């Protein structure tokens, strides 16, 4: 039989399965970029231009309002580290909620599974938020409004923890939303209400002790605090427990994978 | 070979579970063309989706040791805001095939010309169907799954499709589901009838057709 046909054989070895997974996810990423941003004007640059505009807007508003955030940190530095973190964990679930319904037709191709559709979107969101963060830091550093991070590795680690949190949450909420429309309805207000509590707009240290206890129940607060400690070092007193956050992340990831698997077993292509 | 053993499919509905397929057994050997007859709603499309692997059975075993196509004649999975060319490239990437070599064939076969570079949402349903068929012929499989008659475009284009599928790919296995007995007779060497969720394998084409006629008369 023709060689290309053999390549599409059905029970592939692990390495072949990995190769298929990679090319499917890559194809979905390219498709997503084209459908979301098109070929017009700056095209795929919107991927990070959009989060950059958000962060810039928030930075401008906070600066103008001389927002009280309970520290001596420059407001620009505060806004960029904070709002970039919010975009990171909040946009991933938002992109995964209801992601399968418009793509049901794709599932006619056996190798395209709901998991691949989610992963493609997660990679895009993480890349967009990450590039936006890096460019903004470099830009504000260049114009003299922002110092570079004291510990780049810790910033990267904090960023990865927040990204992991976002991915676990996205898989879980995304797959759940396929079973119940209520999840989609509830996600948006939840995400909106979590924003002011997420540690983006305050330092935990500036809160009353009682409030600290409650706010530190939220896993993403630990990631933001850890990232800020990496960025500002001795200028801040950070409160975090990375083990606690990792436990949350693991739990969300497992729940997300289980829910996605359940979805894969029952989903009916268009 | 494709082998189905004791395959069941149950869909949950608001009125309770619906048993769409019951204990379906089927074996398709390499190069064999089997037709599956069934009235509307008999579960033909569900069966073909299960065979393709796009959907999983509620219980039972499905084995494939040859490559199996997606259900052809299905015009969907096109992203309307993308061009015909983008959609071709997407399918090629998924199956690991170089798209650039395939463009001339798709352009020529689909007769879309310059419209290949336009968004699919601007296509007529005929143009969409022609693109879908052309793209289906770009990836090679050992077994093609054909859902309903590929009634694409005018008679001449229909003829072109038949030639591409049944003559040029005459050595491949095919599973064709249809409610049209004539179409099955024309293209298949073996037939089965899907009725009330059960698949009845017939000894001959004629036996299948008379069974199907009785079923249809019974239902009428």
**CB A76 within 8 Å of CB A227:** no
Rounded CA-CA distance B83/B120 in Å is 5
Q: What pLDDT, on a 0 to 100 scale, did the predictor assign at position A5?
A: 41
CA-nearest residue of chain B to A1? B142
Sequence-distant (6+) residues with CB within 8 A of A137 are A80, A146, A148, A149
* Neighbouring residues of B118: CB distance < 8 A, sequence distance ≥ 6: B83, B84
pLDDT at position A9 = 47
Give the residue, A51 or B59, on which the prediction is more confident.
B59
| pLDDT band, residue B219 (cuts 50/70/90) | confident
Choose between A54 and B20: higher pLDDT.
B20
The 10s digit of each residue's pLDDT in B138-170 is 999 999 999 876 566 678 888 888 899 999 999
Say yes or no: A31 contacts chain B, CB-CB below 8 A.
yes
Cα(A221)–Cα(A6) distance, rounded to whole angstroms?
Answer: 50
Give per-residue pLDDT as tens, A139-168: 999 998 889 999 999 999 999 999 999 999
The pLDDT tens digits of the residues spanning B172-201 come to 999 999 888 888 898 999 999 999 899 999
A29 touches chain B (CB under 8 A): no
Whether the CB of A7 is below 8 Å from some CB of chain B: the reply is: yes
- Structure confidence at residue B153 (pLDDT): 65
pLDDT tens digits, one per residue of A24-71: 999 999 999 998 888 777 878 888 888 888 888 888 888 887 766 666
pLDDT for position A2 = 40
Dihedral angle of Cα A23, A131, A217, A249, to the nearest 10 degrees: 20
Is A262 an interface residue toward B (CB < 8 Å)?
A: no
Mean pLDDT rounded to a whole number for chain B: 90
Token pair in block for residue B55? 């959907």
pTM confidence score:
0.91
Instruction: Look at residue A80 and give its three-state secondary structure.
Output: helix
Instruction: Lowest mean pLDDT of A207-216, B23-32, B68-77, B104-113, name the range.
Output: B68-77
Looking at beta carbons, which residues of chain A come within 8 Å of B140? 2, 4-5
User: How do residues A196-235 score in pLDDT, each as one tens digit?
Assistant: 899 888 889 989 999 999 999 999 999 999 999 999 988 8
* Contacts for B135 with CB less than 8 Å, ≥ 6 apart: B87, B88, B91, B106
A26 vs B: CB within 8 A:
yes
Strand partners of residue B10: B19
- Give me the helix-helix angle, A152-179 and A181-194, nearest 10°: 150
Write the residue in B67, B89, B93 that is nearest to A9 by C-beta. B67
Q: Are the C-beta atoms of B24 and B201 separated by less than 8 Å? A: no
Asked whether residue B214 carries a pLDDT value surpassing 80, the answer given is yes
Mean pLDDT of chain A: 89
Q: Write out pLDDT tens, residues A77-96.
A: 888 998 899 999 999 999 99
Task: For residues A117-130, give the mean pLDDT.
Answer: 95
């Amino acid at each position: 039989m023709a060689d290309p046909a053999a390549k599409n054989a059905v029970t592939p070895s692990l390495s072949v399965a990995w190769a298929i997974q990679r090319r499917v996810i890559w194809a979905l990423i390219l498709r997503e970029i084209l459908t979301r941003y098109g070929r017009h004007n700056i095209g795929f640059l919107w991927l990070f231009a959009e989060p950059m505009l958000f962060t810039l807007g928030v930075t401008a508003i906070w600066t103008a309002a001389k927002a009280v955030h309970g520290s001596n940190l420059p407001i620009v530095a505060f806004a960029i580290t904070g709002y970039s973190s919010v975009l990171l964990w909040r946009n991933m679930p938002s992109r995964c909620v209801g992601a399968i319904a418009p793509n049901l037709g794709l599932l006619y191709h056996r190798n395209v599974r709901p998991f691949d559709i989610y992963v493609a979107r997660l990679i895009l969101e993480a890349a967009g938020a990450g590039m936006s963060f890096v460019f903004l830091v470099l830009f504000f550093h260049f114009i003299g409004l922002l110092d570079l991070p004291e510990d780049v590795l810790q910033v990267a680690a904090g960023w990865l923890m927040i990204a992991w949190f976002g991915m676990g949450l996205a898989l879980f909420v995304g797959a759940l939303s396929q079973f119940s429309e209520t999840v989609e309805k509830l996600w948006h207000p939840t995400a909106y209400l979590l924003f002011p509590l997420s540690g983006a707009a305050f330092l935990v240290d500036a809160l009353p002790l009682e409030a600290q206890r409650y706010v530190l129940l939220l896993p993403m607060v630990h990631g933001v605090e850890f990232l800020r400690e990496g960025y500002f070092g001795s200028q801040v007193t950070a409160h975090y427990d990375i083990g606690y956050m990792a436990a949350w992340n693991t739990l969300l990831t497992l729940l997300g994978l289980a829910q996605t698997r359940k979805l894969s077993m029952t989903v009916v292509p268009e | 070979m494709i082998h189905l053993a004791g395959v069941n499919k149950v869909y949950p509905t608001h009125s309770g579970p619906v048993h769409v397929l019951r204990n379906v057994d089927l074996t398709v050997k390499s190069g064999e063309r089997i037709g599956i007859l069934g009235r509307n709603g008999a579960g033909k499309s569900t069966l073909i989706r299960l065979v393709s692997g796009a959907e999983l059975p509620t219980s039972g075993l499905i084995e494939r040791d040859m490559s199996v196509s997606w259900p052809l004649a299905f015009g969907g999975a096109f992203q309307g805001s993308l061009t015909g060319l983008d959609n071709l490239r997407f399918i090629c990437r998924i199956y690991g095939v170089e798209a650039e070599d395939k463009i001339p064939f798709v352009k020529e076969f689909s007769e879309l010309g310059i419209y290949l570079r336009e968004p699919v949402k601007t296509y007529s349903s005929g143009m969409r169907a022609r693109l879908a068929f052309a793209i289906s012929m770009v990836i090679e499989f050992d077994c093609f799954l054909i859902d309903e008659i590929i009634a694409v475009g005018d008679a001449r284009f229909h003829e072109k499709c038949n030639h591409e599928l049944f003559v040029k790919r005459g050595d491949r296995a095919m599973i064709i589901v249809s409610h049209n007995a004539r179409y099955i007779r024309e293209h298949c060497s073996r037939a089965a009838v899907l009725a009330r969720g059960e698949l009845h394998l017939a000894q001959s084409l004629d036996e299948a057709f008379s069974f199907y006629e009785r079923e249809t008369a019974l239902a009428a």
